[in-house]
């Protein structure tokens, strides 16, 4: 059964529930899972920011001028490779 079919089946079952406590529990479960995923995302995001700041503070970064120079060099290398006989993209 596909995910969409499963969702439809679950939605139909939920629509038949008359017990308010069951509805409250389902809502709580769905909200808790969303919150957990959101918290994990925020933790990962903050970790990546902290790592980036540490790299910058230790001098491991390129200035805009340096990045542009690297890009220009890479573009020349790619274009040179395309000009060789038998090379196509």
In whole angstroms, what is the distance from residue 72 CA to residue 61 CA?
Answer: 17
Chain-wide mean pLDDT for the chain? 87
In whole angstroms, what is the distance from residue 89 CA to residue 87 CA?
Answer: 7
- The pTM for the full model equals 0.45
Does any domain span residue 4?
Answer: no
Does any domain span residue 61?
Answer: yes
Q: Whole domain around residue 29: which residue ranges?
A: 19-82
Does any domain span residue 28?
Answer: yes
Contact 23, 17 (CB under 8 A): yes
Per-residue DSSP letter, 23: H
Does any domain span residue 55?
Answer: yes
Does any domain span residue 89?
Answer: no
Q: In the chain, pLDDT over 70 holds for what percent of residues?
A: 91
- Total domain count, the chain: 1
* Beta carbons within 8 Å of 61's beta carbon, 6+ residues apart: 55
Q: What is the DSSP string of 8-22?
A: HHHHHHHHT---HHH
Does any domain span residue 75?
Answer: yes
Does any domain span residue 65?
Answer: yes
- What pLDDT score does 39 carry? 83
Does any domain span residue 88?
Answer: no
């Amino acid at each position: 059964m596909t995910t969409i079919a499963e969702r439809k089946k679950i939605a139909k079952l939920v629509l038949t529930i008359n017990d308010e406590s069951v509805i409250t529990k389902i809502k709580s479960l769905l909200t808790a899972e969303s919150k957990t995923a959101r918290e994990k995302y925020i933790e990962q995001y903050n970790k990546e920011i902290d790592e980036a700041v540490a790299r910058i503070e230790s001098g491991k970064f390129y200035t805009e001028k340096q990045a542009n120079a690297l890009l220009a060099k890479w573009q020349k290398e790619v274009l040179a490779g395309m000009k060789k006989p038998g090379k196509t993209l």
